[in-house]
Amino acid sequence: MNLFGDEFDRCVQLQETKADVMTRMEQKMIEAQTSFQEAHATIQTKTDMKILKMKADDLEGENLELFLMMKKSVRERHRRMR
């Protein structure tokens, strides 16, 4: 009877260990996904800024004002994502 109790306790411990490992894996996956999303947002913002900077060289007057507003918008979006 004691042997059955030991096996049962061992089985319970294994199940608890499995649950702990699965929880840690889920947490790591969530952290990795968050890091990926942050990196993607940063890359997108940098790309947007490069495009806007290239276009700025050809702008004058109202178009330059529009460009400056777009640039400000991109920067604000980047700040909100942080």
Give the DSSP H/E element, type plus range, for residue 59. Answer: none
pLDDT averaged over the chain?
81
Q: What is the band of 3 on the pLDDT scale with cuts at 50, 70, 90? A: low
Q: What is the band of 28 on the pLDDT scale with cuts at 50, 70, 90? A: very high
Cα–Cα distances (Å) from 56 to 52, 61, 64, 79, in that order, read 6, 11, 7, 22
pLDDT value at 68 more than 90: no
Rounded distance between C-alpha atoms, residue 63 and residue 70, angstroms: 10
Rounded distance between C-alpha atoms, residue 25 and residue 53, angstroms: 42
Rounded distance between C-alpha atoms, residue 70 and residue 76, angstroms: 10
The first and second tokens of residue 48, run together, are 């947007």
Overall pTM > 0.75:
no
